[in-house]
Amino acid sequence: MNTDVAARIASTLDLSQPVVGVEFLDKGYSFDRKFILHTAGDDGFLLRMSDIEEATIRREEFENLAKVRQAAVKCPAALQFGISEQYSVCYMVLSYIPGECAEEALPRLGPAERYEVGRQAGEELVKIHGAVEPLGRVDDYSVRGEKFTRMRREAKASDFDFEGRERAERYVDANLHLLKNRPTTFRHGDFHPGNLVLQGPTLAGVIDFNRSDFGDPIDDFYKTAWFGAPLSSEYATGLLIAYCSGQPDAEFWRLYNLYVAAVLPADLVWTHNLYPDQLARSHALVERIAATHDFEAGGPPKWW
């Protein structure tokens, strides 16, 4: 999908400011095509395009994002949704939040500022989890349990082994029952510094809700082990303390460890299938995560 097509779609939109330029935004792992629509009078807009076959789920995402915005979450405003039969895409137009990706900005901040960004992120996540009323309860024990089993099977079939695998698998097997009767909330689905926009040391917005869904809210924290804590333990600490209104309790840590342990083989399978050139990096990170997490008693990780 090239910029010319994005410009043609942009020309049909009813926006508050005329578009004077279209810029392809090549960031993130999403399969969506994202473009900044530059205007003369404001911060511009974000045009996000998906395959037309995803129209139903993307419309739901758009509607949920509007509800998240209504809950006073710092996130893009959902402005327009449409379908282009001509180009076989569905699209949404969002307000654009200028700033710098926290993944790039955090290393340049001081420890206290990194903690403060994490604290602000935790406050936003509390609001996100309460922003959209679920239609019913999600059976995480069945849904997540089936996925964990399938990913473990696929990793074994591909001979993806790692130091600490047996310990992680034993922890999952012994604690999967914790997912029975867990609360169901709206979830961001990909909450980490790569999807946070900073303006200086201040959190300006949470972006990329295209993996949002419903289920156990603690599931939104496992990527802290991959993308948050390795970048800044201060950020990760601030995130959890703000979300939990103080020290996380024992139940939080047991569940956090369960999600982290269960996703370790899935990370290798996912990387191999989509980004095979990054498999060595993924393997090293998986082993580092396994070595720094308590897959025995389910207590806090070493970065805490």
Average pLDDT over residues 256-278: 93
Question: How far apart, in whole angstroms, are the C-alpha atoms of residue 216 and residue 138?
Answer: 8
Q: 262: exposed, middle or buried (C-beta count within 10 Å: 0-12, 13-18, 19+)?
A: buried
Angle, helix 140-157 to helix 250-274, in steps of 10 degrees = 40
Give the amino acid at 193: P
Beta bridge partners of 39: 19
The confidence band for 4, taking pLDDT boundaries of 50, 70 and 90, is: confident
Average pLDDT over residues 271-277: 90
At residue 87, does pLDDT exceed 70?
yes
Residue 146 sits at the vertex; the CA angle it makes with 143 and 148, to the nearest 5 degrees, is: 105
**Average pLDDT for the chain:** 94
At residue 90, does pLDDT exceed 90?
yes
The pLDDT, as a whole number, for residue 28 is 62
pLDDT digits (tens, 9 = 90+) for 144-197: 889 899 989 998 888 889 999 999 999 999 999 999 999 999 999 999 999 999
Q: Which domains does the chain have, with CATH numbers?
A: 3-95 (3.30.200.20), 100-292 (3.90.1200.10)
The pLDDT, as a whole number, for residue 41 is 75
The three state secondary structure string of the chain is CCHHHHHHHHCCCCCCCCEEEEEECCCCCCCCEEEEEEECCCCCEEEEEEEHHHHHHHHHHHHHHHHHHHCCCCCCCEEEEEEECCCCEEEEEEECCCCEEHHHHHHHCCHHHHHHHHHHHHHHHHHHHCCCCCCCCCCHHHHHHHHHHHHHHHHHHCCCCCCCHHHHHHHHHHHHHHHCCCCCEEECCCCCHHHEEEECCEEEEECCCCCCEEECHHHHHCCHHHHHCCCCHHHHHHHHHHHHCCCCCHHHHHHHHHHHHHHHHHHHHHHHHHCHHHHHHHHHHHHHHHHHCCCCCCCCCCCC
